[in-house]
Structure 1
Amino acid sequence: MSDPVFRSDADAVEIMREYRAVLDHWPVPKQEIELSTSQGPTFVLGCGPETAPPVVLLHGAQANSAAWRPDIALWSRCFRLYAVDMIGEAGLSARVRPPLIGDTYAIWLDDVFTGLGLARAALVGTSLGGWLALDYAMRRPSRASALVLMCPAGIGRQKSFLVAVAPYLLLGAWGKRKIVEKVFGPAPKRLPADLEAISPLMDSISRAIKPRVIKIPQLSNAALEALTMPLLAIMGGRDVLIDSYDTRLRLERHVPNAEVCFIEEGYHFLPDQAPRVFDFLVRNLQGHDAQTCRDSKSCAAADE
């Protein structure tokens, strides 16, 4: 059975209007793709050279592909990016939320890969999108050339966030601001231009969407040990949604090939990671195009 995504039809219309406005001012040339899948229509943004190594981007919950706007200009210099609107979230894909248990999401991503003509690609996922990337790599290891996981669910213990912040819900606007700070950290006095461009949309989504209240499946030790592809995990020590210390420990024990970047003062939202991810992708995606890009003057500034 499908879960409703938005609090009202009017909210859905407004979010789609704001999302379209962000897409109309995308920082690089893009292709808008609508795929037919087992879960209904799926919206994908394609950016970057079509012959470059493919990278599939999977945003987190309560978001859409606009979340990648701060990263897209750098990454698309050297890679063919496919930003996928996750089903059941605030994007242009089907508004269905099948259970996370089982292989439903893997079959859906099979359809996405097939529709895009991909046999194999790197996966970059944030939060719930990180779980989605992990789940797919576990079930379809031959299709994942590399993994980048930012504040991923599915490894460390999931915290009881709603219980912890329940008292703040009684404190009006101030309480809601404190909840946001606990997840994203204190708001800077001035946002960088790329974040400023999507901040109103993300604020609107947080008010309009019905959050998923679910327990996210954790990968077993054996499943983690089977992840032999290059893997970068980035997490923050102050994450209030996922036990990042547990994530780090399990990766160090069971995925010895993983590169783990632990940011002690980081929250569940970790800005300014585009250069680190870019460097990892260039180092680990094999092929002439990636190496040529790394050595080219056009990307020299990104490596500084």
Structure 2
Amino acid sequence: MYENCLSHWPVKVESSYVSTSFGQTHVITCGPEEAEPLLLLHGAMYSSTMWYPNIESFSQKYRTYAIDIIDDKNKSMLQKPLESREEYAYWLSEVMDGLGLGVAYMAGLSYGGQLIVNFAMHDPARILKCVVMSPAESFVSFRAEFYAHAFGLVSDPNGVENFNKWVFADRYQLPPYFVDQFQAGVLREDSLSAGKDRKRVWPYVWADEELKSITTDMLLLFGEHEVMYNPLEAMGRAVRLLPHVKAEIVKNAGHILSMEQADLVNEKILQFLSE
């Protein structure tokens, strides 16, 4: 399912693995070899194939590395569970080392966005600039409705369909091949990821002092129709606490704004990174 999704990408890609302390991390690379690096971190259970509406624009200017987040539903192979936010930052640092990158631009959505906020606290010197879209929690807690839909993904035969309707409403239609991959990811289990005794690390809402410590230049984007939390409340807290943030609400978009308003989001990201 993953490879089928990747076959629909509009650009030539290279697939490789980076060894880390926690397992083998799968990376999709494209764009000019001599260009500045841009790391992409996907949303939970979506995998790096979710960047199909964005990758052509990004890879025209940047050497783009779409990283399959380890311990999620993708082609990375977990060998040792990560048990703290510090370990997630260390994992990403190891991926950069394996790619031969000292510093990079970064962009992430949802779970990937939260991991970038986390990395900005633990290893800020390695981020040139970052774009965080619809971060999972981070600034405010999820609504109870999120957990109902999340649990429904695995407990309800129609869970994937219901989740997509909740997230997208009638604004965007996912391609069938991507829905098939999402469904396959929901159903896929492995012994390490399914461990019931593991410590819960994410999602997480940072304290004021933690957020104030971030010095990285950040573009923070929320969808107008975000359903997982109140986007205005999240943006207000971010603007109040982050010293170097530019925050915007994207009209006619929800949580997955990189898909719903791809052209607009691509333009905003590229403009911010080049400023």
User: Structure 2-normalised TM-score?
Assistant: 0.82
- Superposed counterparts of 1:45-84, under 5 Å: 45-84=28-67
Q: Quick one: structure 1 residues 166 and 74, their matched pair in 2 at CA, closer, same or farther if it must change by over 3 Å?
A: closer
Q: Contact conserved, 2:224 with 2:254, CA < 8 A, in 1? A: yes
1:273 correspondence with 2:257: no
Q: Quick one: structure 1 residues 120 and 168, their matched pair in 2 at CA, closer, same or farther if it must change by over 3 Å?
A: closer
Of 253, 258, 275, which residue of structure 1 is paired with 2:240? 253
What whole-Å deviation, never above 9, does each CA across 1:55-92 have from its counterpart, x for those lacking one? 10000111211111111011100011000011111211
Q: Contact conserved, 1:158 with 1:215, CA < 8 A, in 2? A: no
Q: Contact conserved, 1:236 with 1:265, CA < 8 A, in 2? A: yes
Q: Quick one: structure 1 residues 87 and 168, their matched pair in 2 at CA, closer, same or farther if it must change by over 3 Å?
A: closer
What whole-Å deviation, never above 9, does each CA across 1:247-303 have from its counterpart, x for those lacking one? 1111110125322121365322222235434443344347xxxxxxxxxxxxxxxxx
1:156 correspondence with 2:143: no
Shift of 1:19: 0.9
CA distance in 2: counterparts of 1:185 and 1:201, whole angstroms: 20
Gaps of 5+ in 1: 1-17, 287-304
1:226 correspondence with 2:213: yes
Amino acid of the residue matched to residue 169 of structure 2?
G
Q: Quick one: structure 1 residues 51 and 253, their matched pair in 2 at CA, closer, same or farther if it must change by over 3 Å?
A: same
Shift of 1:30: 1.5
CA distance in 2: counterparts of 1:236 and 1:185, whole angstroms: 13
1:126 correspondence with 2:109: yes
1:204 correspondence with 2:147: no
What whole-Å deviation, never above 9, does each CA across 1:136-194 have from its counterpart, x for those lacking one? 1110110011111111022222222355559989x976776444311232365xx48xx
Shift of 1:54: 0.7
* Helix, strand or coil at the partner of 1:70: coil
CA distance in 2: counterparts of 1:87 and 1:167, whole angstroms: 21
* Helix, strand or coil at the partner of 2:236: helix
For residue 43 of structure 1, what is the aligned residue in structure 2?
Answer: 26
Amino acid of the residue matched to residue 183 of structure 1?
V
* Helix, strand or coil at the partner of 1:89: coil
Shift of 1:237: 3.9
Q: Contact conserved, 2:25 with 2:70, CA < 8 A, in 1? A: yes
CA distance in 1: counterparts of 2:229 and 2:83, whole angstroms: 17
Amino acid of the residue matched to residue 53 of structure 2?
P
Of 77, 81, 85, which residue of structure 2 is paired with 1:94? 77
Q: Contact conserved, 2:85 with 2:118, CA < 8 A, in 1? A: no
Q: CA RMSD in A?
A: 3.0
* Helix, strand or coil at the partner of 1:32: strand
1:262 correspondence with 2:262: no
Q: Contact conserved, 1:138 with 1:223, CA < 8 A, in 2? A: yes
* The structure with more radius of gyration: 1
Q: Contact conserved, 1:224 with 1:254, CA < 8 A, in 2? A: yes
1:147 correspondence with 2:134: no
Q: Contact conserved, 1:156 with 1:245, CA < 8 A, in 2? A: no
Amino acid of the residue matched to residue 21 of structure 1?
N
CA distance in 2: counterparts of 1:62 and 1:167, whole angstroms: 13
